[in-house]
Structure 1
Amino acid sequence: MNAIPAPAPRSFGRSFLAIFAGLALSVLLALVIDMILHALQVFPPWDQPMTETGDAALAFSYRAAIAIGSGYLTARLAPSAPMRHAIILGGIGMALATLGLVGAMTMEMGPLWYPAALVITALPLAWIGGVLARRRS
């Protein structure tokens, strides 16, 4: 007789840690890469706006890769429903990016397409990370 395995118990703590790990990875990696690019003078000094389209495109490209990786990590660490966890992370990312967009609209921080693109892509990129994690399982 085949035994049906019991579903894994839900754990708020493990869910919180999975989402927090994805968020921490995203923030820390973006900050480290930003620091390196500023130190190498690829980006202008911290106190100056990033007005060059190429700089914004470069920043968007690595932030997109980081968002996928963060969604992947969150989904892999999730105790259950990995896609739901990745989407929650994407929602948090979208909310934070929206705050960045509002800030960019009120201050001269560079091209507005960059923070707008972060808002628009936060959920799809987290979802892609979740899909990649699901395929790996």
Structure 2
Amino acid sequence: MANKTLKSIGAILAGFATGAVLSVGADFLMEQTNMMSMENFKQSSAAIILTVILYRFVFNVTGCYLTARLAPDKPMKHALIIGIIGTVLSILGAVAMWDKAIPAYNLTIIFMSLPSAWLGGKLFLATAGNAEAKQ
């Protein structure tokens, strides 16, 4: 039981860290190439804001897929746990940084946490089902 719990915690931490590291890394690259500035993110073009939303969504899906893959059981539940954590952290981030970005960005980041978690879990289940069928 304790081993299963540790595997669950590890799966959640690995998926969360993957999404966070990829997002922070992409933000860093965007800033270093002068494509955007987190200081003046509110002044960024719509194309840049949409790009950030898109890569954050993809990175969230990736992290949740990894969590589902590493989960000892109930992969969708593990992926959705990240979605819940992401929603809470996104709300806190939006409150703290509300004046740094347009409201639509803040709200989109909040509302995409659970759908991206569900999609990551669903993608794992679809590929896991295909792998089992081939065996």
TM-score tier after normalising by the smaller chain length: 0.7 to 0.9
Runs (4+) of structure 1 exceeding 6 A deviation are none
Indicate the residue corresponding to 1:136 in structure 2: 127
Report the number of matched residues: 127
Please show how residues 57-136 of structure 1 align to structure 2 within 5 Å.
Answer: 57-105=50-98, 108-136=99-127
Distance in 1, Cα, partners of 2:50 & 2:25: 17
1:83 deviates by 0.4
Q: Which has the higher helix share?
A: 2
Q: Contact 1:49/1:109 (CA < 8 Å) preserved in 2?
A: yes
- Consecutive unaligned residues of structure 1, counting only runs of 5 or more, are 1-7
Mark the CA change 1:92 to 1:63 in structure 2 (over 3 Å): closer, same or farther.
same
Distance in 2, Cα, partners of 1:48 & 1:21: 31
Distance in 2, Cα, partners of 1:29 & 1:9: 30
Aligned CA RMSD, in angstroms, stands at: 1.7
Mark the CA change 1:72 to 1:9 in structure 2 (over 3 Å): closer, same or farther.
same
1:47 deviates by 3.3
Determine which structure has more spread, i.e. the larger CA radius of gyration. Answer: 1
Percent pairwise identity: 30
Residue identity opposite 1:65 in structure 2: V
Q: TM-score, normalised by structure 1?
A: 0.86
Residue identity opposite 1:126 in structure 2: A
